[in-house]
Amino acid sequence: MYSYEKKLGKEFNHIAGIDEVGRGPLAGPVVAAAVILDPLRPIDGIQDSKKITPKKRDELVYEILNKSVSVSVASIGPRQIERINILNASLEAMRVSVSRLMLQPDFLLIDGNRMIDSIIPQETIVKGDSLCASIAAASIVAKVCRDRIMVRMNSHYPGYGFEKHKGYPTKEHLECIRNLGATKIHRRTFNGVN
């Protein structure tokens, strides 16, 4: 998982991994994180956030926050997603997360196949959250942050089950939209939300 960082570490000092979560849901924000890992303090168990349990993610996010050189998070809400579309919202959240790092990175490793608007040298890695430690760390941070946002939304919008499905288009969620209507946090441009 650390092979990208080790290879780039010969030339660059502060390598940030960037990932986002929340492109597929019908409700809530898209959240991106940027993480600069400390090469002297490796973290065991880092992998794609989708492949680990919520309990393990919570344990790892604590370790990531404590052992990393710098960590930041950014989110783009439903109304802006509707204005600029989900792809552009994801890229913007990633760009903002990089700009919020306390220490400016000198190289970016980005999950996926799209670069972000930045003068910092960067490389995209398809399935980077499964191949690269810093991207996997960013995916864990972003996933934990977004899940916590959606759990909080459950108290604002009871009856929608946000604490369970986190806004993703499950059968239960689609049924809630049909029966209760869309909330302010639903993305109305997505199919099934009117």
- CATH number of the domain bearing residue 141: 3.30.420.10
123: three-class secondary structure by DSSP: strand
DSSP H helices, the chain, are: 3-8, 54-67, 78-84, 86-99, 128-131, 133-156, 162-165, 171-180
From the list 104, 119, 94, the residue with the least C-alpha distance to 22 is: 94
Could you give the number of structural domains in the chain?
Answer: 1
For the stretch 64-75, pLDDT in tens is 999 999 999 999
Q: Which positions of the chain have pLDDT values less than 70? A: 190-194
Question: What's the predicted TM-score (pTM) here?
Answer: 0.94
Residue 189 covered by a domain: no
Q: What is the DSSP letter of 102?
A: S
Which residue range(s) make up the domain with 42? Answer: 3-180
Domain-embedded: residue 95:
yes
Residue 133 is predicted with a pLDDT of 96
**Is position 117 within any domain?**
yes
Q: CA 117 to CA 97: how far, in whole Å?
A: 12
String of DSSP letters for 18-51: EEEE-SS-SBS-EEEEEEE--TTS--TT---GGG
Query: Beta 30-36 vs 15-21: how paired, if at all?
Result: antiparallel
Is 187 inside any structural domain? no
Q: Residue 85 domain-assigned?
A: yes
pLDDT tens-place string over residues 139-178: 999 999 999 999 999 999 999 999 999 999 999 999 999 9
- The answer to whether residue 82 is domain-embedded is yes
**Would you say residue 49 lies in a domain?**
yes
**84 part of a folded domain:** yes
